[in-house]
Structure formats: structure tokens, C-alpha cells
Amino acid sequence: MLKLLCSSSSSCLNTKLHTLPALRSGPTEFTSPLLKALSSLRGLTLRSPNLGPRAFFCSDSSGDGSDQVVHVEGKATDSDAEEVESKSSSAIVPTNPRPEDYLTVLALPLPHRPLFPGFYMPISIKDRKLLAALQESRKRQAPYAGAFLLKDEPGTDPSLVSGSESEKNISGLKGKDLLDRLHEVGTLAQISSIQGDQVILIGHRRLRITELVNEDPLTVKVDHLKDKPYNKDDDVIKATSFEVISTLRDVLKTSSLWRDHVQTYTQHIGDFNFPRLADFGAAISGANKLQCQQVLEELDVYKRLKLTLELVKKEMEISKIQESIAKAIEEKISGEQRRYLLNEQLKAIKKELGLETDDKTALSAKFRERLEPNREKCPPHVLQVIEEELTKLQLLEASSSEFNVTRNYLDWLTALPWGNYSDENFDVLRAHKILDEDHYGLADVKERILEFIAVGKLRGTSQGKIICLSGPPGVGKTSIGRSIARALNRKFFRFSVGGLSDVAEIKGHRRTYIGAMPGKMVQCLKHVGTANPLVLIDEVDKLGRGHSGDPASAMLELLDPEQNANFLDHYLDVPIDLSKVLFVCTANVVEMIPNPLLDRMEVIAIAGYITDEKMHIARDFLEKTTREACGIKPEQVEVTDAALLALIENYCREAGVRNLQKHIEKIYRKIALKLVRQGESNEPAITGVQVVESEEAQVERAEGLSEVGGSETRSDPVEDNSHEQATETFVEAGTVPMDVLDDQSQYPADPPSDSKDVRETKKMEEREATITSEKVLVDPSNLTDFVGKPVFHAERIYGRTPVGVVMGLAWTAMGGSTLYIETTQVEQGEGKGAIHMTGQLGDVMKESAQIAHTVARAILLEKEPENPFFANSKLHLHVPSGATPKDGPSAGCTMITSFLSLAMKKPVKKDLAMTGEVTLMGKILPIGGVKEKTIAARRSEVRTIIFPSANRRDFDELAANVKEGLEVHFVDDYSQIFDLALGYDQDAGN
């Protein structure tokens, strides 16, 4: 039944009409505006055995929203009801002729929402002719027009069109164009007032456009629409209206805007029935205009009520969301205000009790407390600066920018470990053990570190040094620095200066700059908490230079043992003692480091690893680490030594082991995938129809089935025999159908949960056993399946060296390599002597070729005076791998030998490689990269090497495993090379 509503200003009537107590026979006053509107529902005869009399709701004839009366009679007749209806009136002033007599009206376009009967709507009319026509209609006592909703412009989104744009679109429409854009169904509107271009309309009844009468202003013929007949006592209509009223009542509790609509409506409508209820709900809802137009066009009262119910239900949900949002924001704001008030009260209480002082005093106390443990070790000049800044802090306002600068400055000053040194461990044996654990080989590097520790032990203290580890990528320079810190029991800090172009990263910013920060060294000391850490400066050979200065020059003070005892950071502006810091720098190419900076370093060259060392590193460290990272057990895979050797020789020839680690990881990833695929393929199909079991499991299952079958069908021998036959058939086939398993699972030997857990455990054990049993073997035969085709091939291009071809030894950033030098005769003729060079040779190598050509002519003249080869031959010298740039002062000897081999038509002695630069007088100059070139010679299966005598000591310092199997000759003059390379008996064989 109908639920009575009330506004927030009045007391709510919480009972429905069919549950109301017996109403008093006297008049009852209702002050709620909405109740005045909804209490005027007419023609509703509410019958209930608990009520007795009938109730009629009506408003007084004044229509001014005054008191409404409920008449209660013991017996009511139809005439009584008609009398009550006749007394009910509307606020609309009656006109003559009546509204239904208007069949031709002016058409007013409504841009935003349709006008519902009984509602006000102000509209703005820009068309002067239409406005004049409306004013003329009022003067002729015919203040009526048709209000029709404007359709959206085709191809536009109505939600994205602003109100101003809609008004512009309306003003541009005239005549038939405007008629086509209007909805057919609209509202007969009474023109209440006209003020300027603002027209106030009051809706009366529904209209439908039938014919165009006049285009300017737009005048149309209309039909007055009436609601379809309906049964006022229909329970479905009553229930729908009750739900609309109930929902409206709930919305009115939360929305003050709706209450304003209700007050306006009650002042201008008195006839409130089911159709009016539907119009009322749709009109005050926030639905879009098309939904409202759909309600306006609906003439079936029940369908209109249903449409309105949907709209008000949606409005109710929006009101709930709005209420929850408002509540959340209110709680947040009130919580913050409460917290602020409590904090202020707490501060006031603490201040009264003397428990806490203001912020500046608390900050000063914090800084003093932080400095207290190191006060005795702190230098006097630093203490003086700190005290001055603390005094300055007390004089500054907390809101000033200078206050924050001073506070940050004191924060850094008091956070540094002034005079706080960590206890070092000078145990040489322990350090040697740690270095051997972390790195294989690198004997010279380890020896230098042990020397440093030994000196520190004898002196009782260690002086900071600057060590530069130089070598190719991947040889372990950074990890060596970490191992040194662990061996010395020092804190470790690493920062890279590769590409660094800002001096402030080293020396810090001035405090006056916004966002100023100290340099990396000050940040390092604060991070590690000690004044004697090990600082690893990575990629020192890649320092940049930009508009912010030259960082390489700024590093001079940092890395100078004589200057860094008083290192001055621009931010702190007080000297810092860095003499106890151990600096370890890393670089790939020492030549790229500026000479003044290189002069302050002690360079330790790390040439790289030979094949044997790579084998040990791969087997003892890389493979173990990778296997654990992939979750593979040692018994599941075997990588043979031959496979590792092939991997090193054919895929990873560089000096370091980083690429080798990547390839080993690639192998183990593929092994992991293979093991997982094998395990999944060997798992039993749980969802299939049949489960394949082993023979023992089949026998056990058959025995269990026989026993169960005997216990079930012992009274029936026929069924027992058939069951046994079926079981035997299943055993012979090696499968057990799932339906049989399900039948037997009704009689388990153990509780169902336990047997299920046991089965799951057995499945997991079988799966693990299956994976474990499948051992993967990696050997040279299947290595390509894991890492693809070999990247490198034999560096030895020629099995037997041709005439004019000599193998040289070169140094590269990735280690050593062999380098063939080839010479051939292009043209021969009197006076044709010349040389042409290819192979991307640098300036140094081009000069070496010219020198070699001159020296070769002199030697040939000495050895074979009658041979005019160089005078009459145009030669072409080429160094293969033309895409690779080549330069360096160590190819002169090789080029001379190549020229002489071609001139004398005599190949170089077999398995011979040489290196060294030569002068015009034939003297041999020393070269660099002895270890790298020796490793390259061993990799190319060279048996004899020719080195300059000046490099004898470098070769002697090499490890025995590097020199193993090599015959080395040290020469001072090229004549010795000639005897070794070409001075052999050709008839005896090469």
C-alpha cells in the first residue's frame, strides 16, 4: 500500500496506509510539503479489515500549500467522493477558453529536459519574433504554447555538448529544420511570466504535433493526449506506486534539492493521482533527457510508473554513493582536525610540564647527541664549525629558507664518522684463503694484496693506497675489490664514474644552491659509517668532460696520497681525512686514463684467463652457481670436460669469463626445461579414462579388487566369477578403468583422507624419481643443441704457411689474438717498386709498413745482392679482417718477414709466430701485452714465439701453465729473426 512521506523538517510518518491505526474523525494537520503533495492521491479506496472507514486525501481550495484535511467517515458513497473531488482545486488560474480548446500553438524548443505537467520551467528565448508572439498571446488572454524537447544533433554525443553550444544550435534552426529536430510529444505550457528573454512555463497536459501551420515563428497543430484507461484498484498498479513513493521517501531523507522540488510542486498542483505520481518522480529525478522524454511519451499509466520506478531507484543509488563519499571526506577531514588539535594540546601540555622544548632546541639536542660518541675523535676545526652552526640555528626562524640549509648542513656534519675506524684484520693466511676462494689464478694481483696486508701488519696500521686494476671486461676486477675488502675486514663502497661529466659528483655542490648535496666520498663515509673503507671507483678510464668541468682533474685531489688527508668538499667546506681510505680503481684501457691521474695510481694488470684457468673457474664456480640458481641437482646433469673445453675454445675466447657464464646459464636453462617437460610427460593422466600402472601396482590392485569382490558377492557365485574375470582382464591389459576404481573406493582399507594423502605423496615421489632418473649429458656431440653453432673457428687459417704470409701476435681489449700479415706481388717491371696497404691500418701500422719495406730491401740486398725484387715489384700488403680497425707498434718484425718471404720465395718456418717493432737500423723494440699474446699463441697451437729481449722478464713472470709447451726466442736484432724464420734448409722440409 501507499507509504506516507515526509520532509526532513517534519516528523516522518513511519506507517503504511494499510497498517495505520484508526484515524480520528476530526481534522488532522500535516505540515510536510511532500506529504501535502502525495496525500492528495485521489480515487484510492484503501480497504483493510483493520481500518474500517475509508480515507480521502485532498488539499483545500486555496491551493497555497496550507493545511490538508483527512476526512474519515463510517460509510462513504460515490457522491461523497465526487464532492471531495470538486472541492479539490489547483493553483493554476483557470482561463477562458479552456486549455483543451487550443489546437494550434507556438512550438517552443527545450534543449535540456522535457517539461512535465504541473512543473515550472524557465527558458531563454533568443528569437525576437517568437518572443513577441508569446507576449501577444498573453495579451489576447491565450497564454499557452507547446514545449517540445529538442533532439540531439545527428553524429554528436549529447554528453559532450555544452549548454551554450545547444543554445547556439537552437537559435540557428528555423521552420521545417526546427520541426524535424523536435520530438513529436510535448507539453501544453502556460506562460506564467515573461521578463526580458526569460519565459516561465508551467506544464499542463501532453500534446502531439500533427501538422505544420507557420514556419516563423514555428506554429503547429496538435492533438491533446489522454492517458489510457486503467483500473485504479489494480493491485499491480498500487504496488508499483507504493514502491515509487517508498523510494522517493528514502531519497528525500538525503537530498535537500528534492525537497525543494516537492515544495514547488505542491504549490501548483492539487490533482495528485497515479499518472501525476509517475510524472512527479520522473521530473525531479536526475535522469537524462531521453529517459525523461520516454516517460512523457508513455500513455500507459502502469508502464509509466515502471519507467519512473527505474529512474528513482537509480537516483536512490546515486544518493547512497553521494552519501558515502561525503561521509568518507567528512571522516577524513574531522580525523585530521582532531589529530591536529590533539598534537597542539600535547605540545602545550609538554611545554607546561617542561617535558619538551620547541623544534629548534630539539634539533640542536639531536645533533649534539649524535656527535657525542665521536666528540673526542672529531677534529677541533670541525667541532668549532658545528658549534657555530648550532648557535646560528637557534637564531633563525623555523620558516626561513636559511633554517633548512643550516639544518641539512648540520645533519651531514654530525652524521660523518669523524675518527671512527674499523678494526682491520692483518692475517695474511686468512686473506690468502679468502682470495683463493673468490678467484682462481691472478697470482700477481693476490701477491700485491698480500704485500699490502703484510706492510700494514708490520706498521700496525695501514696507509691508504690507490690501486688500479686494468684488464679486459669480465676478468673479475670489481669482484677482486670486494674480496680485498672482505680480506681486510673493511667496509666496501662502490661507485662508477663511467660517463661522469659533473665535477659536483666528486667535489659536491655549494650550499647556496637549491638541492645541494655533498660529493660521492662524503656520501660514502656516511653510508659505511667508518673513516677507512675500501672504495671501488669503477670505469675510471671512461670519465667524461662536459660543461660542468673536468671530473678527471677533480679526481686528482681525491686520489693523491699526499693531498687527500685534507680533502675539501664544496658542500661541507671543512677538510676531511681520506688518507686511511683504500682506493681501488678499475679500467679496461690504461691509455685512456689522463696521465696526471694515472701517475697517482699503482697499476696492476689483469691479462685474463688461459683455457686451463677458465676450465677451473667454470667447473668450480660458474657451473655450481648456475646449477643452484636453476634448481637442478648435481645428479641430474653432467657436463663433460670436453664440452666445457669446446665451449671455451669455440664460443668464449675472450679474456674474461662473463660470456662463458652466460653460455653456461643458457645450457642449464635448456636442461631445466627438458627435465620439467620429461617430468610432466611421465605424470599419470588424472582426468583420463584409464590410468597406466606398473606391474607390481597392477598385481596389488588386482588382489585388492578380488578381495573386495569376494566380500561383496560371496552369496552370489556368478557375480563373483564375472568380477574376477573382469579384474584379470584389466590386469592383462595393464590398465584399470576409472569407474572400477571409483566403485572400489567405497571400501578402502584406510580412511579416505589418509589414502588420498598417501596417493598424493606417492605421486610426488614418483614424479621426483622420474625427473631424477633422467640424467642429462652434455658433451661435444650435442653442445650445439644447447648453445647453437660455434662462434669462433680455428685462428690458424693455414695448415702450411704460404710464401709471403706470417703470423703475428696482437693485443686487443678482449685479450690477445693472432694476426696474419699477407704480402703478394701485384705487378712487376723495371722501376715498378711500390707498396699498397689494406686492412684498416692505423697511422702507426702504416708507418711500420713503410719502415719494414725499407729494412726488407736492405736485408735482401745483403743476403741476395743480385735479386732486384723490391726495385721492380709493386707489392700489396693486407691484414685480414678488414672490418676491424688495427693499429699499434708491434707489427714491424712480422711485416719485414712477410716481405722477405715473398722476395726469396721461401715460406716461414712452420708453427712460428712473432711480435715486435723494428727500427730502420734493424733493432727490435719492446712490446706490451706479453701474457695476452702468449695466450693467443697457445690457442692457435703455435710452438715457437719470437719476443724482443726487453720483454724477457715479463715472460719469466708468467705462470708456468701459461708458458707450458712453448719455445720462446728473445731477439735484439732482426738478423736473429731472419735466421729463426727463414734461415733454414728448405730441402730438409718445413
Is 614 considered catalytic here? no
Q: Catalytic: which of 507, 886, 933, 940?
A: 933
> Residue 975 CA to chain centroid, in angstroms?
67
Nearest to 918 by CA among 942, 938, 900, 933: 900
Q: Which residues, in sequence order, are bridge partners of residue 682? A: none
473 is in an annotated binding site: yes
Number of Cβ within a 10 Å radius of residue 757: 12
Is 166 considered catalytic here? no
475 is in an annotated binding site: yes
Per DSSP, 115 falls in state P
* φ, ψ of residue 86 in degrees (nearest 5): -65, -30
Give the integer Cα–Cα distance in Å for 416 and 412.
Answer: 6
Indicate the SS3 state at residue 874. Answer: strand
CA distances from 546 to 498, 552, 553, 586 (A): 13, 11, 12, 22
Q: Which residues, in sequence order, are bridge partners of residue 493? A: 535
Give the integer Cα–Cα distance in Å for 803 and 799.
Answer: 13
Judge contact between 490 and 534, C-beta under 8 A.
yes
Give the integer Cα–Cα distance in Å for 559 and 578.
Answer: 9
350 is in an annotated binding site: no
**Residue carrying the nine cell digits 686494476:** 469
772 is in an annotated binding site: no
Give the integer Cα–Cα distance in Å for 952 and 971.
Answer: 10
> Residue 461 CA to chain centroid, in angstroms?
48
Residue 475 φ/ψ region, left for φ over 0, alpha for ψ in the -120 to 50 degree band, beta for the rest: alpha
Nearest to 528 by CA among 497, 493, 496: 493
Judge contact between 892 and 918, C-beta under 8 A.
yes
Judge contact between 880 and 820, C-beta under 8 A.
yes
Q: Catalytic: which of 32, 890, 901, 940?
A: 890
Query: What one-letter code names the amino acid at 104?
Result: T
477 is in an annotated binding site: yes
Kindly report each contact of residues 951-955 with a partner whose C-beta sits within 8 Å and lies 24 or more positions away, as own/partner: 951/926, 951/927, 954/930, 955/930
Judge contact between 489 and 423, C-beta under 8 A.
yes
Number of Cβ within a 10 Å radius of residue 481: 24
26 is in an annotated binding site: no
Judge contact between 59 and 36, C-beta under 8 A.
yes
433 is in an annotated binding site: no
C-alpha cell at 120: 515550472
CA R_g for the chain: 51
Q: CA 286, 291, 294, 298: dihedral to nearest 10 degrees? A: -50
Nearest to 884 by CA among 797, 818, 794: 818
Judge contact between 299 and 67, C-beta under 8 A.
no
Per DSSP, 92 falls in state S
Judge contact between 600 and 556, C-beta under 8 A.
yes
Nearest to 490 by CA among 452, 441, 541, 520: 452
Give the integer Cα–Cα distance in Å for 598 and 614.
Answer: 30
Q: How many helices (H) and strands (E) does the chain have?
A: 36, 28
Give the integer Cα–Cα distance in Å for 521 and 584.
Answer: 13
Please give the helix or strand (H or E) that residue 243 lies within, else none: helix 235-254
C-alpha cell at 876: 700489396
Number of Cβ within a 10 Å radius of residue 853: 20
Mention every residue, 6+ apart, whose C-beta is less than 8 A from residue 30: 10, 36, 39, 67, 68
CA distances from 209 to 107, 152, 202, 206, 297 (A): 9, 18, 19, 10, 12
Q: Which residues are annotated as a binding site for ATP?
A: 471-478
Q: What are the residue numbers of the active site?
A: 890, 933
Residues belonging to the binding site are 471-478
